[in-house]
C-alpha cells in the first residue's frame, strides 16, 4: 500500500523509505538469486533429484512474484493516481498465484523428502522425478490458479490503495489466515517431524544390519555420496521451511488480530488505525523474504550447491574469454606473427 494511505506523518515517511529502498534491494538481489537458482537447478546433476525440480519451479514463480509485486508497489508509491481497479485485480491475482505456488511447492518438497526415506515402497514412489514433473507440479499450479479466484472478483480501489472491503475483507483475511498463515507452516512442521522419524528408523536399521549397504550391487562409496547429497538437499529444504515460518508468523498474528477485531472479539483500541496500517505493511513486506533469500540460504547450508555454483561461474568466465578472444582470431594472429618471422 502507498504511504498516502498512512495517516501518521512519521509512519508515512518510514513506509515510503521501506518501499523505495527495502523493496528495491529485495527486487535486485532476489532477481539475481533466483536467476542463479534456475541456472543451477537446470544442471543435469541436480535435476536428477525430485526435490530440486520443486525448487526450480519455485525459483521461476519467485521471479514473477518479485517483479509483478514489488515493481508495481514501487510504481504505486511514486504514482498513486495510476492505481486502477484493473491494475489491482491483475496484480493481486498474479502475485497471489505465484506466491501460493511457491509456498505449497515447498510443502510438497517436504512430503517428497518424507516419501524418499519412508519404509513404505508405495509412498517412496512419490519421490520420483517423473512423478514430480508430470503430475505434482502441474496439479499444484492448476489448483492455485483456481483457488484465489476471489482476488480479482473482490479486490477494489480506495484512496489509491488496492484493498478488500466489507465481507470481501473478512473472507480474504480468513483465506490468508488459513491458507497462508496456518496450513503451509503446519504441514511443513509435520512433514519435517516425519522425516526425522524416518531417518532415525533408517539409521537404526543400518546399525542392526550393517552389511545391507552394497548387497544390492551399489558400491559403498556411491551409496555414501548419494546419502551426502540427500542430506544436503534436506538441509536446503529445512532452511527454506525455517525462513517461511519465521517470515509468516508475524503476518499470521496480524491477520488473526484483524479477524478478531472485525468480529468484535478484541478491543478496537489495542492498535490505532495508523499503527495497524503500518504493521500490515511491514508483515505484508515479509511475504517476499523467502523469494528474496532462497539462493543465499542455499549457498549458506549446502556444500554441493556452492560447488555447483563455482562450476557455473567458471563456465561463464570461460565462455566470456572465448567471446572476447575467439580461437580463430588468436590462430590468425599467431600465423601472421610466424609468417613475419619467417620473412625476416
| Structural domain count, the chain | 1
Q: According to the model, what pLDDT value does residue 153 have?
A: 93
Burial classification of residue 218, based on how many CB atoms lie within 10 Å of its CB (0-12 exposed, 13-18 middle, 19 or more buried): exposed
Q: According to the model, what pLDDT value does residue 214 have?
A: 47
Burial classification of residue 237, based on how many CB atoms lie within 10 Å of its CB (0-12 exposed, 13-18 middle, 19 or more buried): buried
d(CA 202, CA 196) in angstroms, rounded, equals 10
pLDDT in tens, 283-312: 989 989 999 999 999 999 888 888 888 888
Assess whether pLDDT exceeds 70 at residue 91: yes
**Are 162 and 92 in contact, with CB atoms under 8 Å apart?**
yes
Q: Is 116 inside a domain boundary?
A: yes
Is residue 265 helix, strand or coil?
A: coil
* Rounded percentage of the chain residues whose pLDDT exceeds 70: 83
| Structural element, H or E, at residue 162 | strand 161-163
C-alpha 153 chain-centroid distance = 26
Q: Is 2 inside a domain boundary?
A: no
Q: Is 341 inside a domain boundary?
A: no
At residue 7, φ and ψ (nearest 5 deg) are -80, -30
| Geometric angle at alpha carbon 46, from 138 and 300, rounded to 5° | 105
Q: Is 214 inside a domain boundary?
A: no
**Grid cell digits, residue 35:** 536467476
**Are 188 and 106 in contact, with CB atoms under 8 Å apart?**
yes
d(CA 166, CA 188) in angstroms, rounded, equals 32
- Count Cα neighbours of 159 within 13 Å in the Cβ-side half-sphere: 10
Query: What would the DSSP string read from start to end of 115-177?
Result: HHT-S-HHHHGGG-HHHIIIIIHHHHHHHHHHGGGHHHHH-EEETTEEE--HHHHHHHHHHHI
Range of the domain at 248: 18-206+229-321
**Grid cell digits, residue 36:** 542463479
Q: Is 216 inside a domain boundary?
A: no
**Grid cell digits, residue 275:** 499503527
- Count Cα neighbours of 73 within 13 Å in the Cβ-side half-sphere: 26
32-36, 134-138, 154-158: the lowest-pLDDT one: 154-158
Average pLDDT over residues 123-145: 94
Give, as one character, the DSSP assignment of residue 69.
I
At residue 216 the predicted structure's pLDDT band, cuts being 50, 70 and 90, is very low
Better-predicted residue by pLDDT, 330 or 263 = 263
Assess whether pLDDT exceeds 50 at residue 58: yes
d(CA 216, CA 334) in angstroms, rounded, equals 56
Q: Is 165 inside a domain boundary?
A: yes
pTM over 0.75: yes
What number of residues does the chain have? 344
Q: Is 326 inside a domain boundary?
A: no
Assess whether pLDDT exceeds 60 at residue 335: no
Q: Is 90 inside a domain boundary?
A: yes
Is residue 80 helix, strand or coil?
A: helix
Q: Which residues contact 104 (CB under 8 A, 6 or more apart)?
A: 140, 143, 144, 184
Q: How many CB atoms lie within 10 A of CB 197?
A: 13
At residue 101 the predicted structure's pLDDT band, cuts being 50, 70 and 90, is very high
d(CA 132, CA 126) in angstroms, rounded, equals 8
Give the CATH number of the domain where residue 246 resides. Answer: 1.20.1070.10
Amino acid at each position: 500500500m502507498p504511504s498516502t494511505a498512512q495517516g501518521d506523518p512519521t509512519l508515512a515517511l518510514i513506509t515510503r523509505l521501506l518501499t523505495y529502498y527495502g523493496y528495491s534491494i529485495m527486487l535486485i538481489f532476489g532477481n539475481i538469486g533466483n536467476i542463479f537458482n534456475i541456472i543451477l537447478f537446470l544442471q543435469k546433476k541436480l535435476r536428477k533429484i525430485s526435490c530440486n525440480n520443486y525448487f526450480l519451479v519455485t525459483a521461476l514463480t519467485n521471479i514473477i512474484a518479485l517483479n509483478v509485486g514489488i515493481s508495481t508497489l514501487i510504481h504505486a508509491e511514486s504514482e498513486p493516481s495510476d492505481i486502477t481497479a484493473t491494475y489491482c485485480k491483475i496484480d493481486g491475482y498474479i502475485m497471489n498465484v505465484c506466491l501460493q505456488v511457491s509456498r505449497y511447492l515447498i510443502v510438497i518438497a517436504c512430503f517428497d523428502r518424507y516419501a524418499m526415506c519412508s519404509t513404505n515402497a508405495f509412498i517412496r514412489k512419490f519421490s520420483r522425478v517423473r512423478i514430480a514433473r508430470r503430475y505434482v507440479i502441474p496439479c499444484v499450479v492448476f489448483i492455485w490458479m483456481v483457488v484465489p479466484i476471489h482476488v480479482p472478483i473482490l479486490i477494489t480501489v480506495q484512496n489509491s490503495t488496492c484493498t478488500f472491503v466489507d465481507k470481501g475483507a473478512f473472507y480474504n483475511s480468513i483465506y490468508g489466515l488459513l491458507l497462508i498463515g496456518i496450513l503451509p507452516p503446519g504441514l511443513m512442521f509435520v512433514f519435517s517431524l516425519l522425516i526425522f522419524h524416518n531417518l532415525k528408523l533408517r539409521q537404526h536399521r543400518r546399525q542392526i544390519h550393517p552389511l545391507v549397504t552394497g548387497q544390492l550391487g551399489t558400491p559403498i562409496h556411491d551409496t555414501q555420496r548419494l546419502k551426502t547429497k540427500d542430506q544436503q538437499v534436506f538441509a536446503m529444504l529445512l532452511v527454506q521451511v525455517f525462513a517461511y515460518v519465521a517470515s509468516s508468523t508475524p503476518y499470521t498474528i496480524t491477520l488473526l488480530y484483524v479477524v478478531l477485531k472485525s468480529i468484535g472479539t478484541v478491543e478496537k483500541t489495542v492498535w490505532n488505525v495508523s499503527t495497524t496500517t503500518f504493521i500490515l505493511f511491514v508483515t505484508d513486506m515479509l511475504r517476499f523474504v523467502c523469494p528474496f533469500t532462497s539462493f543465499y540460504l542455499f549457498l549458506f547450508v549446502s556444500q554441493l550447491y556452492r560447488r555447483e555454483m563455482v562450476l557455473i561461474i567458471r563456465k561463464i568466465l570461460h565462455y566470456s574469454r572465448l567471446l572476447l578472444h575467439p580461437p580463430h582470431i588468436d590462430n590468425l594472429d599467431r600465423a601472421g606473427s610466424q609468417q613475419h618471422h619467417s620473412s625476416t
